[in-house]
A and B are shown apart, each in its own frame.
Chain A
Amino acid sequence: MRQRLRDPITGLLFVLPMLVLFLIFRIFPTLGAAGMSLTNWNIGGEWSFVGADNYTRLVNDPNFWSSLQATLIYTVIYVPLVMAVSLCTALLLNSIVFMRGLFRGILFLPYVTSFVFAGLIWRWIYEFDGLLNGMLAKLDLGPVGFMERAELVLPALAVVSCWKGFGYSMLILLAGLKAIPGSYLEAARVDGAGPWQRFRSITLPLLKPAIFFVLVIETISSFQVFDTIYVMTGGGPAKASYTLIYGIFERGFRFWEFGYAATWGMVLFAIVLVVSLIQRRFVGKENT
């Protein structure tokens, strides 16, 4: 069968370069993050063990709670938005044949750009004298401070991330749709099932694994939002867009409190871990 090539030395030698990179730059920092979160490490590299002090401080830190809140609000807006857009566009693309490649290409285009790029363009679109307010002015609607109003900034940022990233999820869902045997849908049609009924009782259940996969990766990516915030709002206004990663960045590289910043990082780690574990559990059930 497989694995007949027994040769412990060459196997190890071939893995070695990547293994070394991994140990030093993935494993070690991961353990280091946990360790540092228990110290008061600062920019000078001086540190002492402070036990759970950082965690106590975190729990009592209004900045932390507001950043967690901002991150959760952002997630609650972004994930349904990107799911709806990517599912709708995938369904549309799956229903046409003529010019499908062209539309698929256009819709996927922003995905290859950077979040910094997206942030710059959209910053201009959201400006007081930018594109969107220019269009609103034509409709006699007053200028809206998308980046200046606390209640608008997270939805506005979610739109930017959605614009930039939905193409990827769209492709995953499109692949899932293509994998549904046409004969199922044809049989349902013959039995007199309407489009909505076919979608509900055939497409949706069969697409569930793809939908769940997309749901998980988009949720995780929404907890990691940073580039657009750095470019567009700087965490403002009044910390309305001050998310977890922004907190890690600012604690670390503006206040140089490495120990405490690592503590924020552990929270992010915990959240992503829980989401990943839920995914594993769900996918496991799907397979059995």
Chain B
Amino acid sequence: MTLTATRPAAVRERQAARPRRHGRRWPLYTLLAIMSLLTLGPFAAMVIVALSPRNAPTVPAQWPDSLTLDNIAQVLSASGFAEWTLNSLIYSGVSVVIILLTASMAGYAFAKKRFPGRDAMLWTFLATMMVPFQATLIPLYVLISDLDGVDTFWGLIVPTLANSQAVFLMRQFILGLPDELFDAAKVDGASELRVYWTIVVPLTKPILATLGVFVFLWHWNDFLWPLVISQSDATRTLTVGLTVLKTEEMQWSLLMSSAAVSAVPCLVVFFLLQRYLVNSIAMTGLK
């Protein structure tokens, strides 16, 4: 996607210029409260159903007589669930590490190096952003299948590592670092790998952290690719596992418990890094 940028100076100006006016704000707050209720309602409903005894009447919008953790406990001990969670962690974790590494290396080269074909390569990377993943799904599957990668971790992970957005984000950030830093290191006789490791990586930590969080969320929530590649519990991720649960004979209380548990890592990431996530979207248009 295109990268958009805010103008921090303009933001400050706007905030400084805003007159502090009190009162007459209650209609705005009422509307926001209604929007918030609509946003949180489904989460609340899910939690109530998840904590209700099986077959307890929770509808119409009714508190159950008692709450129980039985459903959660059963989900956590259900066959497959722990395995799917671990698989999701592997899928997301390994992808984060490799994408951060390869994208920061490529971003550094695109930003600060000259080499033949650089601009053509950059242009090609940019152009592939316009190709929807789903349009290449079939040939990608055939490719992985021919390489015997179906239902393996490498088949699941490796094709998702080609992430042009990550490369562009890194390039944009590294472009802003002063050339003198790299010149100085060169003059001091530092090797390229050392320059990368002691200058590029530390200085790009903020953007690496942001990108890492997004890559984690993208992969944790990814569905279509795991759906076609993970065909057994050995590699099945949580999102795919949830749809397997749904097709099996399954009560809503258990299904809602599974859904709730599956979202926990995302919600933790969100609560820990909310401000950070929000600001980075505003700044980079990261999707």
Contacts and interface: CB of A to CB of B under 8 A. Distances in A.
Interface of A: 2-15, 17-19, 21-22, 24-30, 32-33, 35-36, 41, 45, 88-89, 92-93, 95-99, 101, 103-110, 112-118, 120-125, 127, 129-131, 133-135, 137-138, 163, 168, 171-172, 174-176, 178-183, 186, 209-210, 213, 217, 220, 223-224, 226-227, 230-231, 245, 248-249, 252-253, 258, 261-262, 265-266, 268-269, 272-273, 276, 279, 283
A36 B29 CA distance: 55
B164 A179 contact: no
B267 interface: yes
Given A18-B105, A25-B162, A258 B142 contact: yes
B72 interface: no
Contacts of A112: 217, 266-267, 269-270, 277
A137 B60 contact: yes
B269 A130 contact: no
A216 to B, nearest CB: 8
A92 B35 contact: yes
A25 B158 contact: yes
B40 A106 contact: yes
A33 B164 contact: no
A11 B114 contact: yes
Contact of A135 (B61, B101, B125): B61
B22 to A, nearest CB: 9
Taking residues whose C-beta sits less than 8 angstroms from the other chain, chain B's interface range is 35 or more
Contact of A124 (B140, B221, B256): B256
B97 to A, nearest CB: 13
A137 B62 CA distance: 12
A49 to B, nearest CB: 16
B239 interface: yes
Contact of A183 (B17, B105, B142, B281): B17
B35 A25 contact: no
B18 A97 contact: yes
Given A18-B103, A124-B252, A105 B138 contact: no
11 contacts: A2-B179, A5-B114, A15-B115, A30-B131, A33-B135, A107-B36, A113-B221, A131-B61, A134-B60, A178-B15, A230-B223
A109 B39 contact: yes
Most B CB contacts (10 A, CB to CB) among A4, A41, A186 go to A4
A26 B163 CA distance: 9
A95 B136 contact: no
A11 B17 CA distance: 47
Contact of A14 (B16, B113, B159): B113
A4 B42 contact: no
A10 B274 CA distance: 38
A8 B116 contact: yes
Contacts of A123: 246
Given A122-B42, A248-B134, A18 B281 contact: no
B49 A124 contact: yes
B8 to A, nearest CB: 9
Contact of B143 (A29, A106, A135, A220): A29
B182 interface: yes
Given A5-B112, A15-B118, A112-B267, 15 more contacts: A8-B116, A10-B192, A25-B158, A29-B140, A99-B29, A122-B42, A124-B46, A131-B60, A131-B61, A163-B42, A168-B287, A172-B282, A179-B14, A186-B19, A265-B137
